[in-house]
Structure 1
Amino acid sequence: MSRNSLEKVLYDLSTSGANKKLFAADPDKFLGRYQLDVEEKTLVRDYRVRDLADRGVNTMLTWGFWLQAGKSNSDYMKIMKREEA
């Protein structure tokens, strides 16, 4: 697994409206552009931000990724504290 590849994906999704649209339309196709294994693709596709952080992904990136998807800050905090939303 590559933390750098995961961080690149989250950065790209958090900074580009075009990438957000591509991801929303076909997550698997979008994620196919990156060197990710099946498990990593699942973590991104399913917004498993706690698992991403546990793998060393920068939490500012997981937070931005979560928020850009229209998810709530309070739910993010619950998940990160392992209180689950």
Structure 2
Amino acid sequence: MINTKFLVGSALAAITTLAASGAFAGPAPQPDYQFEKCYGVSKAGTNDCQTATHSCAGTASADNQGDAWIYLPAGSCAKLTGGSNEPKS
């Protein structure tokens, strides 16, 4: 027999998890300063928007992923090793 309390608890946990993950899905809000998109410098899981292989912010699977970008103050991307204003293949 299936334990009813276990089944109800599992269902509630699943609903809570889905609701929480939906709150963070999508692109990061645009900053309120002059910015540029800088590709290839974000850590895994810290990108600000979608990539060619992922659809949401915070979903890059590798450090310095060439198609993952983050917002940086305008003019600072070129100063970073590996930084580019265009996606890398």
TM normalised by structure 2 equals 0.25
Q: Which has more strand, going by share of residues? A: 2
Structure number, greater radius of gyration: 2
Q: Which has more helix, going by share of residues? A: 1
